[in-house]
Chain A
Amino acid sequence: MTVTLHAMARVNDVGGQSGFGLIAVEPDEPPFHADWEARVYALNVAMLRQGVYNLDQFRDAIERMPPAEYLAASYYERWMAAVESLTAAAAPAPRADDD
């Protein structure tokens, strides 16, 4: 069967875009670069297992980040932003003086 594809693009849809340079490879890269990255990873898995949201909602939360914010954020910063926004209803932030 021969098929054709409907177009769709968001900021994350970089496949085939030009203008990117060499791919930076970090030798002996650790699994996480900081403890907080591992915690964000674990928080996301915990929320998925708990059913607070599903994996597609998580991906969507990242993909609909404003392009400037998306491009400025590191990989796990995007995860943090997504977990924060997706859990805002289930676990509201306490009203603190500095918030």
Chain B
Amino acid sequence: MGEVVEIQGTWPLADDRAQGFAEPRVEPVYTVRFPAGALWGPPGGHWVQVELWESYLEVVA
């Protein structure tokens, strides 16, 4: 699980653009910070920060 640290505004969804859709879905892009341990298990100890479109994510809390 990660924390949203920034909202980057809205951008056309890469997956729709990849298929050449004339009107790709436009979604908010979030900068999300994951503790390494949550991605790869122990030992962790650093952060991985990624930009993700809204539909890649599920709100947990």
Q: Is the CB of A57 closer than 8 A to any CB of chain B? A: yes
Bound CA–CA A8/B58 (angstroms): 14
- Contact check, B56 vs A2: say whether CB atoms are below 8 A apart: no
- Contact check, B40 vs A56: say whether CB atoms are below 8 A apart: no
- In the complex, the chain A residue whose C-beta lies closest to that of B5 is A1
- Contact check, A3 vs B58: say whether CB atoms are below 8 A apart: yes
Q: Is the CB of A95 closer than 8 A to any CB of chain B? A: no
Scoring B residues 16 to 50 as 1 if CB is less than 8 Å from chain A, else 0, what string do you get? Answer: 01111000000000101010000110000000000
Given contacts A1-B4, A5-B2, contact A54 B17 (CB under 8 A): yes
- Contact check, B18 vs A1: say whether CB atoms are below 8 A apart: no
Size category, B interface = 20 to 34
What's the tally of chain A residues with a CB closer than 8 Å to chain B? 15
Measured between beta carbons, the chain A residues less than 8 angstroms from B19 are: 57, 60
CB < 8 Å neighbour of A16 from B3, B30, B39:
B39
- Contact check, A57 vs B20: say whether CB atoms are below 8 A apart: yes
Measured between beta carbons, the chain B residues less than 8 angstroms from A1 are: 3-4, 59, 61
- In the complex, the chain A residue whose C-beta lies closest to that of B24 is A56
B48 to chain A minimum Cβ distance, whole angstroms, is: 8
Q: Is the CB of A33 closer than 8 A to any CB of chain B? A: no
Measured between beta carbons, the chain B residues less than 8 angstroms from A5 are: 2, 32, 34, 52, 56-58
Interface residues of A (CB under 8 A from B): 1-6, 8, 16, 53-57, 59-60
Task: List 17 additional contacts besides A3-B3, A56-B17; criterion CB under 8 Å.
Answer: A2-B1, A2-B2, A2-B3, A3-B2, A3-B32, A4-B1, A4-B57, A5-B34, A5-B56, A5-B57, A5-B58, A16-B39, A53-B20, A55-B17, A56-B14, A57-B17, A57-B20
